[in-house]
Amino acid sequence: MIKRTGSPPPSPPTVLLECSQKLPRRRENTVDFAQIEEEFEYKGDSIVIPMMAGAIAGAMEHICMYPVDTIKTRMQAATGPHYTGVVGAFRDIATLEGVPRLYRGVSAVVLAALPSHAVYFGAYEFVKKALTDDKRTDNYNHGVHACAGACATIAHDAVVTPVDVVKQRLQLYGTENKGIRQVVRNIMEKEGFRAFYASYPTTLLMNIPYVAAHFVTYEFLKKNLSSLVRQTDDKSPLVHLVSGGGAGALGGLVSNPFDVIKTRIQTSALPVEMRSLAGTLRDILTHEGLSGFSKGLTARMLYFAPSAAICWTTYEGMKRFLAWSGW
């Protein structure tokens, strides 16, 4: 018997492994998702991006939610038929007046939404950045967001209040106004320019607590819900959708009494000098009691929850897209 010397020959699996290691490796096409997200992120350096994104988001929000806004106005107004609820109001208007009646005045709102929301979000981002300490790693601050929101609504309401007056005159039941030009002409001839801003103080009184609650809630929910989607991801559309909806619902609940007063002032047939905040407040308390301030609450929350969700999701998405495209 012949005795073998030296190491044993390699096994077949070992030979195949050695051959595969000597072959040229195929280059793997990997995608750096972190880098892509970084490219899409808005850095806060340009005021143009939030203004453009805000204008688009505002138009999208109002187009989608205008029928609910019409129902809310009808339910809060002192004149016109008595509606039993949101569903009943929708059914009555659509059946007796036609579905297009729900969209009457929408063109005025969309035209106003473009500049007003551009100013709104531009002012918010500008003030928030100015009040934020860049050296801190965690810049979440209730006071900063509330203050930035208040500044944003002062600028926004100066643009949108006259348009809101025209819109609500067109939304009223039985109105003889046929269009925007006729409403503007009638107001100027019968009430004067002051009528367009008669409700501006009340609007600010309503919107400042609304935006304070809205922005603080949105930023809080966005920060905390992000961990449920991904550890550090605050860019998820789902996060923006849920955060915007929650912020809109809470803001609408807080500010509804002031919205009732504002609607009564803007739709009143009384002379401008007789439409005061105190007088309207006293009139509602005398004839309707505290329950008068809750009129349209369901419609308002049904409006603000989805509208804020649409607005914030569109805004955040457009802001990242515009940043990525080089604006």
Encoded amino acid at 162, one letter: P
pLDDT of residue 3: 52
Distance CA 149, CA 157 (A): 12
Q: Which residue has the tokens 């509602």?
A: 284
Q: Smallest Cα–Cα separation from 56: which of 316, 287, 296, 269?
A: 316
pLDDT digits (tens, 9 = 90+) for 180-232: 888 888 889 888 888 889 888 878 887 888 888 888 899 899 888 877 766 45
Encoded amino acid at 313, one letter: T
Mean per-residue pLDDT of the chain:
79
Q: Smallest Cα–Cα separation from 75: which of 63, 67, 66, 83?
A: 83
Q: Which residue has the tokens 């860019």?
A: 235
pLDDT of residue 101: 86
pLDDT digits (tens, 9 = 90+) for 108-138: 788 888 998 999 999 999 998 888 866 554 5
Q: Which residue has the tokens 């106004």?
A: 177
Distance CA 279, CA 244 (A): 35
Token representation of residue 223: 């920060």
Lowest mean per-residue pLDDT among 32-41, 195-204, 263-272, 281-290: 32-41
pTM: 0.68
Contact (CB, 8 A) for 163 and 108? yes
Contact (CB, 8 A) for 59 and 40? no
Contact (CB, 8 A) for 327 and 43? no
Token representation of residue 180: 């925007």
Q: How many whole angstroms from its chain centre is CA 86? A: 21
What letter does residue 194 receive in the DSSP assignment? G
Q: Is the pLDDT of residue 35 over 70?
A: no
pLDDT band of 52, cuts 50, 70, 90? very high
pLDDT digits (tens, 9 = 90+) for 131-188: 886 655 455 688 888 899 899 999 888 888 888 888 778 777 666 667 788 888 888 9
CA angle 162, 168, 173 (to 5 degrees): 155
pLDDT band of 31, cuts 50, 70, 90? very low
Lowest mean per-residue pLDDT among 101-110, 141-150, 273-282, 316-325: 273-282
Q: Please state, as a whole number, how many other Cβ atoms lie within 10 Å of the Cβ of residue 32.
A: 9
Collect contacts of 41-47 with beta carbons under 8 A, ≥24 apart: 41/235, 41/320, 41/323, 42/319, 42/320, 42/322, 42/323, 43/323, 44/125, 44/129, 46/327, 47/122, 47/125, 47/126
Q: Which residue has the higher pLDDT, 43 or 208?
A: 208
Contact (CB, 8 A) for 64 and 292? no
